[in-house]
């Protein structure tokens, strides 16, 4: 199998315990979404009525579907929803499809992301210029969907449904057979109102977590079993080489590199169904962290041997990596500290009295460092006494 990328680097920062705990907290966060009302509003928002086949069932026949303008319903958890400040894999897939001349109409009942620190649902993307509709909910499981799949399918009338669920089931210890039954029920619910809709079932990328390999075995078996002539099912595979260190920021959620990897495999699955071309190998990978800087960096207190820094964290950033150099002696840049999860100040010690220091703050989300161009610099001088 060809690699989806040509990887030019590896992320070497070790995840903090706090980052992983926060990640699991997001995965288990309950959805306070008013999903039923939002689904009811979804059809009203479009100003359209559901298309039906000859029998009156919602959906489209294969001959009616416009291959280059597919309506795609994205069903998933926080990995589909995306973190605040992310591009999201949805954006990466959208851009890939548009570059191929496909005009995808993503459908769903929400357009938000989830903040990794506060767990708020926010309309905050690295680049909001794409079709942001989706049905991803942080914490959602295959065994207990957060909304009525039948109602959502009827409201959004998809030509294609991408289902990516199972990691939260693994985190909660659900039996793989039970997870498979939940995924089968979702497929049945879709087909009950959209009998001609095609589907993509996505393997779960976190293969290092207990239970996920067995769940993926079930997903592969389901994709093979459930495909029919009028409602085909393709499999979105785990990207080859997908790795907790390189492709996630907390061992669960994708960083910018992981987003590209997931999108590549989803588009590859769409190509098997005739909705897209086979995606190209990705040569230029971005820095894994979010594209944003800390704000208001300043020295707020000092002693002969210490400086205290403060700043404001932008949404989507969880911590700050701080380096410094002694301007008085012309010293080299040296790592000084990594702030705590969600912290907005840091005491730096071990300085020389009466020296001037240049400090730079590089944002990160968990293990995912932002590109150096998002670094903020500040200077400070320690008093002599």
Kindly report which listed range (32-46, 122-136, 179-193, 247-261) carries the lowest average pLDDT score: 32-46
What's the token pair of residue 205? 């990328």
**CA 291 from centre of chain:** 14
- Cα gap 22→366, rounded to integer Å: 10
The model carries a pTM of: 0.86
Cβ atoms of 163 and 136 closer than 8 Å: no
Q: Is the pLDDT of residue 71 over 50?
A: yes
Closest CA to 123 of 110, 108, 113: 113
What pLDDT shows up at residue 133?
99
Phi, psi of 106 (to 5 degrees): -70, 135
Residue 60 has pLDDT above 90, yes or no: no
Domains of the chain: 17-272 (3.40.50.1110), 295-381 (2.60.40.10)
DSSP 86-103: ---HHHHHHHHHHHTT--
pLDDT (tens digit, 9 = 90+) per residue, 227-269? 999 999 999 999 999 999 999 999 999 999 999 999 999 999 9
Token couple for 264: 């590549």
Q: Largest Cα–Cα distance in the chain? A: 87
Tell me the CB-side half-sphere exposure of residue 176, using CA atoms within 13 A. Answer: 15
pLDDT band at 53 (very low <50, low <70, confident <90, very high): very low
Average pLDDT, the chain: 88
- Residue 356's H or E segment, with its range, is strand 356-365
Q: Do the strands 319-326 and 233-236 form a parallel or antiparallel pair, or are they unpaired? A: unpaired
Burial class (CB in 10 A: 0-12, 13-18, 19+), 148: middle
């Amino acid at each position: 199998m060809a690699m989806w990328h040509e990887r030019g680097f590896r992320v070497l920062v070790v995840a903090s315990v706090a980052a992983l705990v926060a990640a699991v907290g997001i995965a288990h966060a309950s959805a306070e979404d008013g999903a039923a009302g939002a689904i009811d509003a979804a059809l009203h928002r479009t100003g359209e009525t559901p298309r039906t086949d000859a029998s009156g069932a919602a959906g489209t026949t294969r001959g009616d579907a416009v291959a280059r303008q597919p309506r795609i319903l994205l069903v998933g958890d926080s990995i589909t929803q995306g973190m605040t400040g992310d591009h999201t894999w949805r954006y990466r897939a959208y851009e890939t499809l548009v570059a191929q001349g496909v005009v995808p109409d993503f459908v769903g009942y929400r357009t938000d992301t989830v903040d990794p620190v506060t767990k708020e649902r926010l309309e905050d993307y690295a680049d909001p210029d794409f079709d942001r509709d989706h049905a991803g909910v942080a914490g959602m499981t295959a065994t207990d969907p957060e909304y009525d799949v039948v109602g959502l399918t009827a409201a959004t009338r998809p030509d294609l449904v991408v289902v990516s669920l199972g990691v939260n089931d693994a985190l909660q210890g659900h039996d793989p057979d039970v997870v498979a039954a939940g995924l089968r029920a979702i497929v049945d619910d879709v087909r009950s109102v959209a009998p001609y809709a095609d589907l993509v079932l996505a393997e779960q990328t976190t293969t290092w977590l207990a239970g996920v390999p067995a769940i993926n075995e079930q997903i592969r078996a389901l994709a093979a079993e459930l495909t029919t002539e009028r409602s085909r099912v393709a499999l979105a595979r785990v990207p080859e080489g997908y790795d907790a260190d390189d492709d996630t920021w907390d061992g669960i959620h994708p960083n910018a590199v992981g987003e590209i990897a997931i999108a590549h495999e989803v588009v590859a699955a769409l190509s098997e169904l005739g909705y897209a071309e086979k995606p190209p190998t990705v040569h230029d990978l971005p820095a894994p962290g979010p594209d944003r800087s800390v704000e208001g960096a300043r020295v707020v207190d000092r002693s002969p041997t210490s400086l205290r820094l403060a700043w404001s964290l932008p949404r989507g950033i969880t911590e700050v990596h701080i380096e410094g150099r002694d301007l008085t002696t012309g010293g080299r840049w040296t790592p000084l500290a990594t702030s705590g999860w969600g912290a907005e100040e840091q005491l730096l010690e071990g300085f020389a009295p009466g020296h001037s220091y240049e400090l730079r703050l590089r944002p990160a989300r968990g293990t995912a460092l932002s590109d150096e161009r998002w670094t903020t610099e500040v200077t400070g001088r320690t008093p002599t006494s």
